[in-house]
Amino acid sequence: MITRIKNGKLILPDGICEHLYLYFEDGKITTITSEELSFDTEIDAHGNYVSPGFIDLHLHGGGGHRYIDATKEAVHGASNMHGTHGTTTLYPTISAFDIDATKKSLDSIRAFGSADEVIPNIPGVHLEGPYFSPKQCGAQDPNCIKAPDKAEYTELVNQYGDLIKRWSYAPELDLDNAFQLFLNEHDIIGSAGHTDAEFCHMKAAYEQGLKLITHLYSCTSTIIRIGGFRHLGVTESAYYFDDMDVETIADGCHLPPELLQLVYKLKGDNHMCLVTDAIRFGGCTDCDTAASSNEGTSYIIEDGVAKLSNRSAFAGSIATADVLIRTCTQKAGIPLQSAVKMMTQVPARIMKLATKGSLKEGFDADIIFFDEDIQVSTVIVGGEVKHR
């Protein structure tokens, strides 16, 4: 059955275009043209933007659920909440936990993540830890932080190698880059996160294939002085290597608009990627006085963000993908075309999703509609209307 979308402002790789029709069939975009072609059903975009579905590489939960809860309700609840806000592909993220809890979460995502009632695609999982610097643990449970354990990570990949697609770790703890080389062998994306690395560590890891930094400026080292001499950190390494990709939590809290502007100025929309890093309260707007616990690390929700209970640092965002686009365009002055690219094309390239992230012929019909205020009204995944 051929479906046609009309009356939309299409966000295409080379610009925003009106007066075009988009046709899709069997879950794939078949034609984008001004021509009147035959179709079976039609969807009117009513002048809204027609965009590729958002792709979120880093989120822990939402709508009151966490993926670490390891239940069907958690997997469906968190995923579908983000789906209604325009995320059509996501990578559930598991923080530093003991191996049994990690396995239970992976089992639940494998069991429940591909059900018909789940709105977004879930191509795999992002493990955020536990191989991190204790000095940069942030909201991670310090009791679970440790150096890379070969027996442990080999066991996990042997059991869940089909599911683990990305792994964040601290490069300075990876002696001889053994862990990064292991990830390369198993086609898992390595990412520098919660790290106190210096430039020498980053350069060595980069030369072995590390090309991504987890939430830049959040638990990433910067210039220090040792004996009077300055040593570059992870933040400077992000800019030094032209093709290094960086995550940014563009919720308007983790990075102020001026800092988003700086990252955009230096990395451009080719190597800057937007992520929510959403926790259990992702998508909530009425929990400013809520309090909870994160496996030994308590936090509070206020000012539109999660904080450690002593307010010394953020503990994760409560953002959804539409909030990131809204922040970039309305507060940081980043063009809509670029903001959408950083939430679609860039993450698709990073995760090697060859047919996602763009409105192009032959690509998956993962499509969303939103208005001038980035309010999402329609979500189509694989050619099926999932939310309207």
Q: How is residue 272 annotated by DSSP?
A: E
Give CA 194 to chain center in angstroms. Answer: 16
* Statement to judge: residues 116 and 47 lie in one domain: no
What is the crossing angle of helices 150-160 and 178-185, to 10°? 10
* Statement to judge: residues 136 and 32 lie in one domain: no
* Statement to judge: residues 248 and 332 lie in one domain: yes
Residue-level pLDDT at 296? 55
Residue 208, domain CATH: 3.20.20.140
* Statement to judge: residues 367 and 251 lie in one domain: no
Evaluate the CA torsion angle 217, 305, 128, 325 in order and state its sign.
negative
Is beta strand 384-387 parallel, antiparallel or unpaired with respect to 376-381? antiparallel
* Cα 293 from Cα 66, distance rounded (Å): 12
What is the crossing angle of helices 72-83 and 99-112, to 10°? 60
Residue-level pLDDT at 292? 53
User: Which amino acid is residue 201, in one-letter code?
Assistant: H
Residue-level pLDDT at 149? 97
What backbone phi and psi angles, to 5 degrees, belong to 229?
A: -95, 135
Residue-level pLDDT at 287? 55
- Give the CA dihedral 115, 116, 120, 125, nearest 10 degrees: 10
* Statement to judge: residues 348 and 385 lie in one domain: no
Measured CA distances, 4 to 43, 305, 385 (Å):
6, 39, 13
Contacts of 168 (CB under 8 A, 6+ apart): 126, 127, 128, 129, 132, 191, 192, 193, 194, 214
Evaluate the CA torsion angle 98, 102, 103, 104 in order and state its sign.
positive
Residue-level pLDDT at 304? 79
* Statement to judge: residues 104 and 131 lie in one domain: yes
- In tens digits, the chain (388 residues) has pLDDT values of 999 999 999 999 999 999 999 999 999 999 999 999 999 999 999 999 999 999 999 999 999 999 999 999 999 999 999 999 999 999 999 999 999 999 999 999 999 999 999 999 999 999 999 999 999 988 888 999 999 999 999 999 999 999 999 999 999 999 999 999 999 999 999 999 999 999 999 999 999 999 999 999 999 999 999 999 999 999 999 999 999 999 999 999 999 999 999 999 999 999 999 999 999 989 986 555 455 545 556 678 888 787 777 888 777 799 999 999 999 999 999 999 999 999 999 999 999 999 999 999 999 999 999 999 999 999 999 999 999 9
Residue 383, domain CATH: 2.30.40.10
* Statement to judge: residues 122 and 242 lie in one domain: yes
Contacts of 35 (CB under 8 A, 6+ apart): 21
CA atoms within 13 A on the CB side of 267: 33
Range of the domain at 362: 1-52+357-388
- 263: alpha, beta or left? (left if phi > 0; alpha if psi -120 to 50): alpha
* Statement to judge: residues 61 and 204 lie in one domain: yes
* Statement to judge: residues 243 and 388 lie in one domain: no
> CB of 132 within 8 A of CB of 193?
yes
* Statement to judge: residues 47 and 157 lie in one domain: no
* Statement to judge: residues 312 and 361 lie in one domain: no
* Statement to judge: residues 152 and 300 lie in one domain: yes
For the chain, the domain total comes to: 2
- Which DSSP string corresponds to 348-361? HHHTT-TT-SS--T
